[in-house]
Amino acid sequence: MRVTTTLLAIALLLCTTAFATPMPQKTFPVTADIETTPVHNSGDAADDPAIWVHPTDVTKSRILGSDKQEGIEVYDLDGNRTVSYDFGKINNIDLRYGFPLGGKRVDIVGGSNRTSWEISLYTIEEGRLRNVNGAPINPKMPKMYGFSMYHSQRTDKYYALIAGKGGEFEQYELYDNGQGKIDGKLVRSMKFSSMTEGIVADDEYGFIYVAEERGSVWKFNAEPGDDTLTKIGTAWDGMLTPDIEGMTIYYTSDGGGYLIISSQGNSTYAVYDRVTNKYINSFEINKGIVDGTFDTDGIDVVSFGLGDKWPNGFFVAQDGVNTDKRFPFLFNQNFKVVSWEKIAKALNLKIDNSVNPRHLQKRGE
Ligand code: CA
Ligand code: CA
Ligand code: CA
Ligand code: CA
Ligand code: CA
Ligand code: CA
């Protein structure tokens, strides 16, 4: 009996030592200002948002959200759904501004479409999407999953970035095929050791971040040719509780800002310095006027001022469990929106509403 107790004590001690966290997460609460209309499909359906800034009237900007069982939904800045598209089972979505197509500069939205098993591409104009795929872009991985885009400020080239359930990563250069459509060519393939979904590119510094859901977050040169990896964080490191999900970047005019990562396992969002990638603090979205977030997949943030309602931009997060205080049952999943000044105040972060994502600049080497 005594031997067993001693062994147990030693085992416990070893466990405690092995799992000791080097730096405990510091989490500050905020509450959402609004929530979007729930997505059309029940169960695990809402996944990944993207924020589109209107070219001339920022109040007509839109929040796009993927319903991974059906397609893409579009919401106005009050969270009301304006239109939805049954484009297929699009898991993650992203967008970029000013793509050269047919002699014009257009805004484009892309997604990992698991119905057609291709990268789906659309133009977005006045909040409406139109398919512009030329030859199908079929990733070489058996199960495509994460998706993001990169617009190089060095070469003005546009790329689609796709990740697979087997840790695959592929980068496709997108180009006008001469017939008003967009084609893509594979320019880089990489392989991580486990399942990858979250991807984000820092267009100004020219970096891509990729997250293994139960592994590490990696940073590398967004220009194809240099695959050197730098580790930013790891699952169970005290800041990130797996799954590690969506990632997004807050830009400031002095080249600073933040990398934000969804730590799905404890429903928090970890904030890192954009340049040094040092961990700062975390936040969680608690119940306020609307319910809080739980088990978040994708996130996005915009620092640019979007009119009187959102003078300092906002952060948007998928909510895995959407409830309502008036009714004791679940609604379909949706997206929660938090004004940036709330997050900035809670975590003592910068507020800079002057970087228009349509006009970025080259920074770094
Ligand atoms: Ca989910
Ligand atoms: Ca996204
Ligand atoms: Ca995931
Ligand atoms: Ca996801
Ligand atoms: Ca919720
Ligand atoms: Ca709700």
Q: Degrees (nearest 5) of the Cα angle 168, 271, 98?
A: 60
Percent of the chain with pLDDT over 70: 93
Q: For position 329, what pLDDT does the model report?
A: 75
Q: Which ligand is nearest to the CA of 214?
A: 3
* pLDDT above 70: residue 100: yes
Position 330 scores a pLDDT of: 86
In the chain, the N- to C-terminal Cα span, in Å, equals 65
Mean pLDDT, range 28-33, rounded to an integer: 98
Distance of CA 351 to the CA centre of its chain: 20
- Residue 328 confidence (pLDDT): 65
* Distance from the alpha carbon of residue 297 to the mean position of ligand 4, in angstroms: 5
- The ligand that comes nearest to the alpha carbon of residue 45 is 1
3-class SS of residue 247: strand
**Interval between CA 147 and ligand 2 midpoint (Å):** 7
- Over residues 150-154, the mean pLDDT reads 98
pLDDT in tens, 192-213: 999 999 999 999 999 999 999 9
Angstrom distance (rounded) from CA 237 to CA 195? 18
Tokens 């910068």 correspond to: 350
Q: What distance in Å separates the CA atoms of residue 287 and residue 319, rounded to the nearest whole number?
A: 12
Query: pLDDT value at position 63?
Result: 99
Q: Which ligand is nearest to the CA of 267?
A: 5
**Mean pLDDT value across residues 327-353:** 94
Contact 94, 163 (CB under 8 A): no
Please give the distance, rounded to the nearest whole angstrom, from the Cα atom of residue 266 to the centre of ligand 5: 13
Distance 149 CA to ligand 5 centre (A): 28
**CA atoms of 323 and 330, how far apart (whole Å):** 5
Instruction: Express each pLDDT in 154-193 by its tens digit.
Output: 999 999 999 999 999 999 999 999 999 999 999 999 999 9
In what order do the strands lie in the sheet containing 46-52?
46-52, 62-67, 71-75, 81-85
pLDDT tens, position by position, 62-72:
999 999 999 99
Centre of ligand 4 to C-alpha 191, Å, is 19
